[in-house]
Amino acid sequence: MPQHFVLDRPSWIPYLYLCLVAACAGQPLQPTPASLPTVSLAEAREWAANTAPQGHRLIRFRWLFNDGQASVGGQGSARMAGPDSMRFDIAGPWGIGGAAAVVVGEDARWVRPPDIIARLIPSYPLMWAMFGVMRPPPPGARVRGRHDDAFTAVEWIQGADTVRYRRRTASAGTFWAEWQRAGVTMGVVETRLDAGGAPVSARLTVPSVPARLDLTIVADSTPAGFPAALWAPPAP
């Protein structure tokens, strides 16, 4: 479930990681139509399941982060095991530094460096959105939406949190996601998709900083599996 995070201008590794896992994108979200009808939780979850990773998937990317004062970049990877598990790794320039996490749904099983969680509580629905994945609404959420072969729009509200998705899938498409808390936009994602629905690039923005991260996908493969050790936290 989305939660607020705190940014205190630390070193580039946790600062970058905040943007990666709080995932939000740079262009204003295309407004969700006000006429969206109420839909059942089961319907919205079925639509979300259509975007979930199937089997095993390895996405490699380049990243570039900019907060208006400085920029830094590097390489990273997302290893996904359907339907809801991800091992996420990033490294800085020339492989210096790095961060890693294992996320299942909206929960982090572990994060390294270990002080990252103390610095932020990430918005995992928007992290997944950077890779074209729509997370299902939580139990008890109020849900509106619309779905056909070319377009899906979903909005769910629970407590002070609102999450919106829009996905165009006719030929090459676009996936937008937005998280609001108490009516204030905490983050927005824009992800470009290829004709098969796979991510090509993603942009995230945290408006309050403001900060922006661009991901460019450089490889997307479907390995037969991953070693069990991949999901275990690295040794201290």
Residue 231 located in a structural domain: no
Q: Order of strands, edge to edge, in the sheet holding 107-112?
A: 107-112, 99-104, 85-91, 71-81, 56-66, 211-221, 199-206, 184-193, 174-181, 161-168, 151-158, 142-147
- Looking at the structure of the chain, the number of domains it has is 1
Average pLDDT per consecutive 10 residues, the chain (236 residues; last block may be shorter) = 36 39 39 76 96 96 86 92 94 77 90 58 77 95 93 95 90 90 90 93 87 92 96 85
Q: Could you list the residue range(s) of the whole structural domain that residue 39 is in?
A: 12-222
Q: Is residue 46 part of a domain?
A: yes
Three-class DSSP category at 141: coil
Reduce the DSSP state of residue 187 to 3 states and report it: strand
How many contiguous H segments (helices) and E segments (strands) does the chain have?
4, 12
d(CA 153, CA 226): 33
- Is 234 within a domain? no
Query: What are the residues facing 85 on neighbouring strands?
Result: 81, 104
Instruction: Give me the pLDDT at residue 27, please.
Output: 39
